[in-house]
Copies of this chain bind each other. A is one copy, B any other.
């Protein structure tokens, strides 16, 4: 992507860059669902103008200052924008807002940033977790509670000169208040760690090969009244190999949702796994002149701890196919189609607006398309 670079006043080695993506598409979604009350089949559909079908629409400011001696300070402030309706401007820097100090030791990064476990989902997805082609691994993980980003984090990145090896660690503070001694209501909160994230990602990229393993644990919820805390553990492994005429992608992901029961007397909280989610993806991209054909096949399977032998484990599979035509490095036209088939109670969709009665209708198939333009600056 092209970027604006403006020379800084203070230092010739320093720069501040204004950058962004404006991505708009005509997109349509349709589902065939079963009405759980009367068994009837209901078709729902909508179409309209969407954003971020190929790359996420954004506006950002970033810069680097050379401090001498190999040391550098840098910042990155990036806002999500909704250019189809103009509703979201630079109201947040929720995509990323960080300040860093880097040198031969690597980089220490403070602020809101992507989680290590999200990186594998997006890097090894031919559709980059954007638009109707987004891998089911990501769609299901996000609805399972997997955070794409974490706030209030301290991150560490290995330096770039390790013969292809790369890696990062991230710790996100929960910022909850601790009481001592605990009393009544605050006592439950005392055991809360909601908002906390700890994870890491390590990989090897050299020539045509890129492979990475990531692990993370996110504390995603509390029930003050039940005295429970929910933790999500995520492990995923992704790889890509560029053969030249085609690039292959693959990912395998496991998530466990654990519910801990806070025990105020023994201080030995009990924990049990309440649900599991496994996902996998196979993908390929094929360059064709100024264009790129993209395809992926992905699937997920849920498993509950409270197994009922009468009910099968919900599962779903998705096929996505697309083409990107690059008018320049900055501007591209694209088209994507995708279809999900849900089985045994899974209810995933390719996106689009939620329909009324989502809890009543169980979508069996979901189909969608994006036809749009991505312009980066």
Residue ranges of A at the interface with B (Cβ–Cβ < 8 Å):
2-6, 8-11, 14, 16, 18, 20, 22-24, 26, 35, 40, 42-49, 59, 61, 63, 65, 67, 71, 73-75, 77, 79, 81-99, 101, 110-112, 149, 151-154, 173-181, 183, 185-186, 189, 327-331, 353, 355-357, 372-373, 375, 377
Mostly, the A contact residues are: strand
A-B contact sample (15 more), CB < 8 A, given A75-B375, A177-B356: A3-B9, A10-B328, A20-B75, A23-B99, A26-B110, A45-B178, A47-B173, A49-B111, A49-B151, A65-B375, A77-B89, A81-B93, A85-B111, A85-B151, A185-B356
- In contact, B86 and A92 (Cβ under 8 angstroms): yes
CA distance A185 to B355 in the complex (A): 12
CB-contact partner of A11 in B2, B18, B92, B177, under 8 A: B2
Set of chain B residues within 8 Å of A176, measured between Cβ atoms: 46
- In contact, B75 and A377 (Cβ under 8 angstroms): yes
- In contact, B355 and A177 (Cβ under 8 angstroms): yes
CA distance A35 to B181 in the complex (A): 11
- In contact, A18 and B20 (Cβ under 8 angstroms): no
Query: CB-nearest residue of chain B relative to A47?
Result: B173
CA distance A251 to B356 in the complex (A): 44
Known: A81-B77, A110-B49. A180 touches B87 (CB 8 A): no
- Distance of A21 from chain B, by nearest CB (Å): 9
- Distance of A256 from chain B, by nearest CB (Å): 26
Set of chain B residues within 8 Å of A372, measured between Cβ atoms: 110
Set of chain B residues within 8 Å of A3, measured between Cβ atoms: 9-10
- In contact, A42 and B83 (Cβ under 8 angstroms): no
Q: What are 10 residue pairs bridging A and B, where the CB atoms are less than 8 Å apart in the complex? A: A16-B377, A24-B99, A24-B110, A44-B179, A49-B151, A65-B375, A73-B375, A88-B93, A110-B372, A110-B373
CA distance A357 to B184 in the complex (A): 11
- Distance of A20 from chain B, by nearest CB (Å): 7
- In contact, B99 and A111 (Cβ under 8 angstroms): no
- Distance of A54 from chain B, by nearest CB (Å): 12
Set of chain B residues within 8 Å of A83, measured between Cβ atoms: 75, 77, 93, 97-99, 111-112
